[in-house]
Amino acid sequence: MKCLTDTTEERIKEAAKTVFLEKGFDGTTTRDIASAAGINSALMNYYFRSKEKLFQSIFNDVCTLLFKGMLELINQPISLRDKISKLMDHQFQMMMQNPNLTIFIMNELRLNPERLYGTIGMAKQVPESIFHQQIEDAIAQGIITPIDSHHILTMIIANIQFLFVSKPMTMLAQGLDEAGFNAFATRHMEYVKDMICEYLFKPEPVT
Amino acid sequence: MKCLTDTTEERIKEAAKTVFLEKGFDGTTTRDIASAAGINSALMNYYFRSKEKLFQSIFNDVCTLLFKGMLELINQPISLRDKISKLMDHQFQMMMQNPNLTIFIMNELRLNPERLYGTIGMAKQVPESIFHQQIEDAIAQGIITPIDSHHILTMIIANIQFLFVSKPMTMLAQGLDEAGFNAFATRHMEYVKDMICEYLFKPEPVT
DNA sequence: CAGCGATTTAATCAGATGATTAAATTTTTT
DNA sequence: AAAAAATTTAATCATCTGATTAAATCGCTG
C-alpha cells in the first residue's frame, strides 16, 4: 500500500492517523498506535515527544486534507455556478474516501478548543477569498440573490458534510447498508446542488 | 436551579450529563462525575453499576431530547410549509440551548456503533411518519417537487445541525463571539428556510 | 430505643496508561 | 574496521482509573 519510502516516522504517523481517526484522542492509547505501527511503544516517544505532540502533528495533517482542496477551488477563476458544483463534488469525493474526517475534526475542536490555533491560518483564508469577491460582484450585477458569502459557503458545506456526520444514524433510520447509503448520498448531492443553485441564481429575489 | 425533588440519583445523572456532554465518554472519569455531583466516587457505582451503565442512561436521555420534539412535530396535522418551518425553529431553539447535543451524539455513535441499538426505536419512527405521507400526497397533487421525504428531512436537519456542529470553526473563520455567532445562525436559518421552501414549493419541477 | 435496611464514606485493589531509562542493535562517519 | 551517532528494544515507574469492600451513618419501623 505504501512505497519504499516507508520510514519509521512515517509508519508511526500513518498508524496514528488511522487509530486517532477511529477512536479519537481520548480513546487512543500509545500502545494502540505502537501495535498498529508494529513497533515498540517507546519508539513513539522517541520520534514524537508525547502522545499530545504526535496528535498535533496528525491533526494538522487532516485539517490540511480537509481544507486544502477546498481553498484551491475557492480561488480558481471559474464561474460561480461551476465553482459551487465543483466545491460540492470535491467535498463529496473526499468524504466518500474518509467519512469520519469532519466529525473527527469538529469533535476534537469541541473537546479541546486550543487546537483551533493550529487551524487559524486555513480557516481565515476561506472567507477572504476570490469567492467572496465573486459573490459580491454577482450580487452587484443582479445575477444572484443578495446574500453574504459566509452563508453561501455554510450552505454548501453543511449540506454535504452533515450527510457524513450523521451517516450511522441515517443508515439506521432508513435501514441502509454501505451501498445503500452511498446511493442515497449521491442522489442527495444532486438535489442539494440544484436547491442551492436555484436559490442563488433565480432571476429576481422575492423581497 | 433544581427543585427539592433532588434525589442523589438525579444529582448524579445531572452531573454525569454535564460532564459527559462536555468531555465525551472516553474523556470523562468517574471521579469527574463524582466531584461534579459532590459525592463520593463509590456512590456512582452504588446507583449505577458502572460508568458504561450510567452513560447508557444519559445517552438515552439526550437522544430522546434530540428526537422527541421533532417526532411530535413531524406527526402534527399541520400544513407542510408550516411543518417545515416549525421543524427548523424547534431544532434551532434546542441547539441554541444545547449546542453540543448533536455532535456529542453523532460522535459517540461513531466511536461505539452498538449504542445505535438504543436509538433504533426513535430513529425508525422518523421516516415512517405522517410527514412521509404528507409529502407523497403533495407530490401526487403537484404541489411540491417530486423528492423522497428522506431527502427533505435530511435537508431540514443538515442545514440547522451543521451550524452547531461547526460552531467553533465558524466563529474562528469569521472572527465571531457568542453574540455574533447567534446573529449569524439566526439569519442563516431564515435563508435556509426560504431556500428549502422555494425549492420544494416551486410551481413546476425543471425536469 | 433496638434493630434493620438504605445510603454514604474512606480505603484500597488490580489493571491500564503515558512516559522514562538504560542497554542493545543498526547505521553512518572517520 | 573503529568510533560515533541514530534507532530500537525490554523493563520499569508513577500515576490514573474503574471498581470493590468493609465499615460508618442515617432514617425508619416495631
Over residues A99-108, the pLDDT tens digits come to 999 999 999 9
How close, in Å, is residue B81 to chain A by CA atoms? 16
pLDDT tens-digit profile of A89-136? 999 999 999 999 999 999 999 999 999 998 988 888 877 789 999 999
DSSP SS3 for B9? helix
Q: Report whether A141 contacts A82 (CB < 8 A).
A: no
**Alpha carbons A139 and A160: distance in angstroms, whole number:** 24
Residue nearest to nucleotide C9 (CA to C1'): B40
Residue A32 pLDDT > 70: yes
CA A88 / C1′ D4 distance in Å: 55
The partner residue sitting opposite A126, judged by closest CB among B154, B168, B173, is B173
For domain A1-48, give the fold: Arc Repressor Mutant, subunit A (1.10.10)
Whether the domain at B1-48 and the domain at B61-200 fall into the same CATH topology: no
Q: Give the pLDDT of residue A204.
A: 54
Provide the grid cell at A116.
Answer: 483551533
Give the separation between CA B19 and CA B124, rounded to whole angstroms.
29
User: With an 8 Å Cβ cutoff, are A191 and B155 in contact?
Assistant: yes
* Cross-chain CB nearest to B168 (options A109, A124, A174): A109
Q: Mutate one of A55, A71, A107, A194 to test the B interface: name it (highest B CB count within 10 A).
A: A107
User: What is the CA A67 to C1' C12 distance in angstroms?
Assistant: 50
Centre a 10 Å sphere on the Cβ of residue B193 and count the other Cβ atoms it contains.
Answer: 20
| B122 band by pLDDT with thresholds 50, 70 and 90 | confident
- Cβ–Cβ < 8 Å for B85, B193: yes
Q: Which helix (H) or strand (E) holds A134?
A: helix A130-140
Interatomic CA distance for residues B109 and B115, integer angstroms: 6
C-alpha radius of gyration, chain B, whole number: 20
Question: What amino acid is encoded at B115 in this protein?
Answer: R
Average pLDDT of B185-204?
92
- Whose cell is 445505535? That residue is B116
Chain centroid to CA A164: how far?
10
The answer to whether residue B47 scores a pLDDT higher than 90 is yes
Strand D reaches within 7 A of the A206 CB: no
Task: Dig out the grid coordinates for B129 from the structure.
Answer: 411518519
Torsion of CA B54, B55, B60, B64, to 10 degrees: 110
Q: Which of B172, B184, B189 to mutate to test the interface with A (most CBs of A within 10 A)?
A: B172
Q: Is the pLDDT of residue A18 over 80?
A: yes
The C-alpha of A191 sits at a distance from chain B's nearest C-alpha, in angstroms, of: 8
Would you kindly state where each structural domain of chain B is located, as residue ranges? 1-48, 61-200
Burial readout B13-44 (b: 16 or more C-beta within 10 A, e: otherwise): bbbbbbbbbebbbbbbebebbbebbebeeebb
Is pLDDT of A4 > 50?
Answer: no
pLDDT at A207 over 50: no
CATH no. for A56-200: 1.10.357
Q: What is the mean pLDDT of residues A54-80?
A: 95
Q: How confident is the model at residue B1 (pLDDT cuts 50, 70, 90)?
A: very low
pLDDT tops 80 at residue B113 = yes
- Asked whether A45 and A24 are in contact (CB, 8 A), the reply is no
Cross-chain residue pair A151–B191, CB shorter than 8 Å: yes
CATH class of domain segment(s) B61-200: mainly alpha
Q: How far apart are CA B51 and CA B26, in angstroms?
A: 10
Residue A9 burial (10 A CB sphere; 0-12, 13-18, 19+)? middle
Cell numbers 428526537: residue = B67
